[in-house]
Amino acid sequence: MTRIAIIGSGPSGFYAAQEFFKKEPDGYIDMFERLPTPFGLLRGGVAPDHQQMKTLSKLYDRIASHPNFRFFGHVHVGKDVSIDTIRRHYHAVILAVGAETDRRLGIPGDDCVGSHTATEFVGWYNGHPDYQSRVFNLNASVAVVIGQGNVAVDVVRILAKPVDDLAKTDITDTAISALRQSRITDIYMIGRRGPAQAAFTELELTELGKLAGVTVVVHDDLVLSDADSMEMAASSKVRKNITQLEMFKASSSIKTPQKTIHLMFYSSPTRIHTDANGHITGIQCTKTALMGEAGSQKAILTSETYDIPCGIVFRSIGYRGVPLDGVPFNEATHTIPHKNGHVCDQNGQLFGNVFVTGWIKRGPSGVIGTNRSDSIETVTTCLAALPTLPDPHPLDTPSLLANHRYVSYADWQKLDAYEQSEGIKKGKVRDKVTSAKEAFAVLDNHSHS
C-alpha cells in the first residue's frame, strides 16, 4: 500500500490529500503540522470577518475522515523529526509548508518600534500561536499600511471596521480589547504603482466602502496612460477595480466619518521616521512614475517626496517562503524548485521521493482554490513517479514520535468542539486555542471530564 507524508495542513496539503485518495483510495496519508491545529492560512490568515470562506474546513474534515488518514499536529518536521527520517518511512513526501515569513522592505527605519509586518498582525488577531506575544500600539490617530494586495485590504478593514461586528467572529479576545481602545481614525494604504496595477481585487475593495462610519478617499486622479488602458482592456480585474475607485471618487463622502481610509498611488515608502527612542513618528514616501511596457510597468522613484506623520506602520508587501533543511531551495524566488511538482535541484536533477505544492512551490499568489489545481498537478506527478521510487522502511509513525506529544485528528475535533462551545458562551463564532500548552490542557481536561 502506498504511504505518503504530507508536511503542512493548509489548503494545498488538504487538496493534495483529496487528490491522492481520489486516485489511490486504499493508500495511506500521514499529515504533519507544526501547529497544534490544522488548516494553515484558512485558520491563521483568512480574515475573521470572512467566515464564509472558513467553512471550507468542512471539506477538509471530510477528507480527513478517510480511514487511512492520520494527522500529527504539533510536530515540527525538521526539528521534532528530520525530513530525512520522514523520507525513509514513506513512499513519497509532499511538502505543503506555505510561505511562512514576509518580504523585506529594506528601507531605513524598517524595524523600528511601531513598524510591523502584516504577517504578524494578521497572525496576532487570528490567534496564530507564533504571534500572540506581539503588541500593537493602536493609540496613535494615523496608521499606514504599505502595499495594496488583499492582505493589505484585510489589515485596513480590521483597523476600520466597527469592533462590535468583529467581536462576533473568531478573532481573539486580546485583539478585540486592543481594537476597542484603538484611537486610529485615519488609515493610509500606499501603493508604489497606479490604480491599474493594484493587486487587490474588486470584491475586497468594495467591502471597504461598505464599512459603517467609514469614508474611502482616493487621493490621486484616475488618469490612465496608454499602457494602463491596454492593461485595463486586457483584464476584467483591472476594469472592475478602476470602476470601484471611480465610484469612491464620485461618491459624496460621509461628512463626519468616524474613520477615513486614504488610498494613495504612485507612492513608494523610502524611510520610516523615528524619534530619539527609535519609535516611529512617520513615513516618507517618494512619488513614482511608471516605466515599461503594458503588463510589466515598474515604479521608478522621482525626486518628489512627502511625509505622512503616523504612529504605526504595517508592511504588507507579500509573504516569503523559507528553506527546509536539506531540501533544494531557490534563494531568488524563495520557492522550492520542481518539475511539475517533483522537487529538483538547481540543475534540474530530481530530488528522490520529495514533491511540493502550494505557495512554497509557486510563490505566495492566488486564492485558496488555486491550490487545488496546483496540488492535482503535484499528486499526478507523484503517482506517476511512484514505481521508480524505493519501498520505505516499515516502521510506524507514532513510534518515530515516541517521546513527542502530538495532536491527532480526533484531538483536533475535540479542540474544535471546545472552541465553538467557548465561542457560544461569549457570543462569537469560536474562541480559539492559541498555544500548544492551552491545546494540551484542554485535551487533558476533556479526557478527565
Chain residues binding ligand NAP by CB under 6 A are 103, 105, 146-152, 154, 191-193, 197, 199, 204, 268, 316-319, 364-367
Q: How far is the CB of 152 from ligand NAP (least distance, A)?
A: 6
Closest by CA position to 121, among listed 189, 62, 64, 45: 45
Q: How far is the CB of 178 from ligand NAP (least distance, A)?
A: 21
Task: Find out whether 272 and 110 touch, Cβ atoms under 8 Å.
Answer: yes
C-alpha cell at 188: 493610509
Instruction: Compute the distance between CA of residue 178 and CA of residue 173 in angstroms, rounded to an integer.
Output: 9
Cα dist from 446 to 1, 320, 402, 413, 449, whole Å: 35, 38, 22, 12, 5
Considering beta carbons, is residue 126 or 378 the nearer one to ligand NAP?
126
Q: How far is the CB of 23 from ligand NAP (least distance, A)?
A: 28
Q: How far is the CB of 180 from ligand NAP (least distance, A)?
A: 24
Q: Within 13 Å and on the Cβ side, how many CA atoms surround 420?
A: 5
Geometric angle at alpha carbon 48, from 164 and 426, rounded to 5°: 50
Considering beta carbons, is residue 177 or 365 the nearer one to ligand NAP?
365
Q: How far is the CB of 316 from ligand NAP (least distance, A)?
A: 6
Q: How far is the CB of 112 from ligand NAP (least distance, A)?
A: 17
Instruction: Compute the distance between CA of residue 305 and CA of residue 226 in angstroms, rounded to an integer.
Output: 25
Considering beta carbons, is residue 46 or 75 the nearer one to ligand NAP?
46
Considering beta carbons, is residue 73 or 269 the nearer one to ligand NAP?
269
Q: How far is the CB of 29 from ligand NAP (least distance, A)?
A: 26
Considering beta carbons, is residue 93 or 144 the nearer one to ligand NAP?
144
Considering beta carbons, is residue 127 or 328 the nearer one to ligand NAP?
127
Considering beta carbons, is residue 152 or 263 the nearer one to ligand NAP?
152
Task: Find out whether 321 and 100 touch, Cβ atoms under 8 Å.
Answer: yes
Query: How many Cβ atoms are within 10 Å of 307's Cβ, its own excluded?
Result: 12
C-alpha cell at 328: 533544494
Cα dist from 5 to 20, 33, 82, 92, 93, whole Å: 11, 11, 13, 6, 5
Task: Find out whether 354 and 7 touch, Cβ atoms under 8 Å.
Answer: no
Find the helix or strand (DSSP H, E) in which 290 lies: strand 280-291
Q: How far is the CB of 286 from ligand NAP (least distance, A)?
A: 11
Phi, psi of 245 (to 5 degrees): -65, -40
Considering beta carbons, is residue 50 or 339 the nearer one to ligand NAP?
50
Closest by CA position to 218, among listed 188, 176, 193, 257: 188
Considering beta carbons, is residue 297 or 434 the nearer one to ligand NAP?
297
Dihedral sign computed on CA atoms, order 207, 209, 212, 218: positive
Considering beta carbons, is residue 64 or 97 the nearer one to ligand NAP?
97
Q: How far is the CB of 438 from ligand NAP (least distance, A)?
A: 26
Find the helix or strand (DSSP H, E) in which 419 lies: helix 409-426
C-alpha cell at 232: 485595463
Considering beta carbons, is residue 114 or 318 the nearer one to ligand NAP?
318
Which residues are registered as beta bridge partners of 71?
31
Residue nearest to ligand NAP (CB): 149
Which residues are registered as beta bridge partners of 177?
none
Instruction: Compute the distance between CA of residue 354 and CA of residue 341 in angstroms, rounded to an integer.
Output: 9
Q: How far is the CB of 201 from ligand NAP (least distance, A)?
A: 6
Instruction: Compute the distance between CA of residue 61 and CA of residue 404 in angstroms, rounded to an integer.
Output: 24
Q: How far is the CB of 102 from ligand NAP (least distance, A)?
A: 8
